Amino acid sequence: MARLVEGAVDFHVHPPWWIRDASKACKHLAAAEDRAGFSRFVVIAFDADEDLLDRLKPGDIVKAAMEASDLVAYALHMPWLARAVAEPEREIERLREDLRIHRRRPEEMVKCGEATGWKGIPVISYNPSRSPREMAEIVRGLEGRILGVKVYPTFHSTPPDSPRLDPVYEAVREIGGLVIVHTGCDPGIWELPAMCRHARPSLVKRAARRHRDLTFIVAHLGAYSALKPGIFFEEALDAIGEDNVYADTSAADPIYVEKAVREVGSEKLLFGSDYPYVHGLDIDAAAGEIEALGLERRHLENIFRFNAEKLLSRHWRK
Ligand SMILES: [Zn+2]
């Protein structure tokens, strides 16, 4: 379908996990973006080593569940939580399997970009099992072939303002790239407040103040949560008040996009479909929901095209 906004950019998508080969996965993605009328897309990896899960103890899951002040609400909405608490070892094994299925290494992301003729613009994932120096070297080695790095404060169990990330941020700045940070909660045990406490836009703001000449993107408008949609939305609005902080609309209920435009304007918002991770939504449907909000044309132009073009012309050297 042709988009309302010509030359639209989807700023937040992932390689389809069910196609293991990175080139094939991203060709599939490029075809899907093309059908939905997008001319370019930012394709984001998730990566971590399995030892990350060795550090997660069964007792941590139980403790995080017990700390949830509204545990009953969590248990009612999420029957899996009761299972996870009853059998935390099995939950960790399940997470291990998830990690194997979804991870994409930096070199795969480069293949992904190549396979799409660079219509797909790769962002690699931070990997907390690597030393900050090692991670920074990886980033420098990929100059011109990646747009930047994404941090998942939930899975990576790393707050975005952690000093551990400073060398990585510095390397991203050197290659002229940008940093994307997952904010809000995440499916599974990561929905528990103790497990998503690092994924706050206020911590992105802190990092952005320390790294004034580096661009940060608050993914999901801080709103990602199955049980408490919009959980850190207000913090996200506050964070994008910083010159070097933007936010993407991926996986956020469109009401938050409308609210954000009303409260702070559209100059800092980027459309992201989060394909293929948002259940029951295809790229076209995700875009259609925002187009249907009744926003003024200039806002749609900003969200779907101008803001993305501005960032890509600054940070993408291909
Ligand atoms: Zn995503």
183 class by beta-carbon count within 10 Å (0-12 exposed, 13-18 middle, 19+ buried): buried
92 Cα: distance to centroid of ligand 1 (angstroms) = 21
The pLDDT value recorded for residue 280 is 64
Cis check for the bond before 229: say yes or no (omega within 30 of 0): no
Q: Classify 6 in phi/psi space as left (phi over 0), alpha (psi -120 to 50) or beta.
A: beta
The pLDDT value recorded for residue 188 is 80
pTM for the whole structure: 0.95
Q: Is residue 279 part of a domain?
A: yes
Q: Is residue 134 part of a domain?
A: yes
277 Cα: distance to centroid of ligand 1 (angstroms) = 7
Please count the other Cβ atoms lying within 10 Å of the Cβ belonging to residue 89: 10
Provide the pLDDT confidence category of residue 7 given band limits of 50, 70 and 90: very high
6 Cα: distance to centroid of ligand 1 (angstroms) = 23
The pLDDT value recorded for residue 279 is 62
Q: Is residue 125 part of a domain?
A: yes
Q: Is residue 280 part of a domain?
A: yes
Number of domains forming the structure of the chain: 1
250 Cα: distance to centroid of ligand 1 (angstroms) = 7
Cβ-proximal residues to 266 (8 Å cutoff; 6+ apart), any chain? 260, 295, 298, 299, 302, 303, 307
Q: How far is CA 90 from CA 59, 80, 306, in A?
A: 12, 12, 46
Mean pLDDT of 36-58: 93
Domain of 224, in residue numbers: 8-48+103-315
Q: Is residue 34 part of a domain?
A: yes
The pLDDT value recorded for residue 165 is 98
Half-sphere exposure of 139 (CA within 13 A, CB side): 31
- Residue 1 pLDDT more than 70? no
pLDDT tens for residues 120-174?
999 999 999 999 999 999 999 999 999 999 999 999 999 999 999 999 999 999 9
Cβ-proximal residues to 108 (8 Å cutoff; 6+ apart), any chain? 15, 22, 45
Q: Select from 55, 65, 43 the least CA-distant residue to 128.
A: 55
CATH number where 294 lies: 3.20.20.140
162 Cα: distance to centroid of ligand 1 (angstroms) = 21
CA distance 117 to 112: 9
Q: Is residue 87 part of a domain?
A: no
pLDDT tens for residues 247-288?
999 999 999 999 999 999 999 999 999 999 876 668 999 999
Q: Is residue 296 part of a domain?
A: yes
Q: Is residue 194 part of a domain?
A: yes
CA distance 108 to 100: 14
264 Cα: distance to centroid of ligand 1 (angstroms) = 23
